[in-house]
Amino acid sequence: MTYPNNLIQLIDIAFAEVNNFVAKSKYYNGDEEIIKNVKKALCLLKEEVQHHYENINERVLRAMHDLGIASFKYFENTTLENAINNITEQLYNEIPIYKGLQPLRGDFGKGCPI
């Protein structure tokens, strides 16, 4: 099975939205670690989807699960939140184990979850 191109496109859109979020948020004074972790999780997911779609690393999926939850807190009502939610929805619908995953950590953005 090959990876779905639409998932890669959604990841690329999310990368662009991360950059837009930082650039457009003149008043953004949030924790830079959160943005770094978002980029890291997206980068790892893209690599896993491209090279290991049949067997995506569970820790990467769990990190994306955490990212989906964290997006409601850190990026509420933004296009970045929508982009992240589109990815997590796709993962939920296309990867059976994603539905039952436990969070990697409850404090996404603090430390190195992956």
Answer whether residue 113 is part of any domain: no
Residue 74 lies in domain:
5-100
Band of the pLDDT at 1, cuts 50, 70, 90? very low
Answer whether residue 70 is part of any domain: yes
Amino acid at 103: P
Answer whether residue 108 is part of any domain: no
Answer whether residue 112 is part of any domain: no
**Residue 112: per-residue pLDDT:** 58
Answer whether residue 9 is part of any domain: yes
How many domains, the chain?
1
Residue-wise pLDDT tens digits, 7-64:
999 999 999 999 998 887 765 556 677 888 899 999 999 999 999 888 899 989 999 9
Q: Measured between alpha carbons, how far is residue 7 from residues 3, 34, 86, 109 in Å?
A: 8, 22, 9, 23
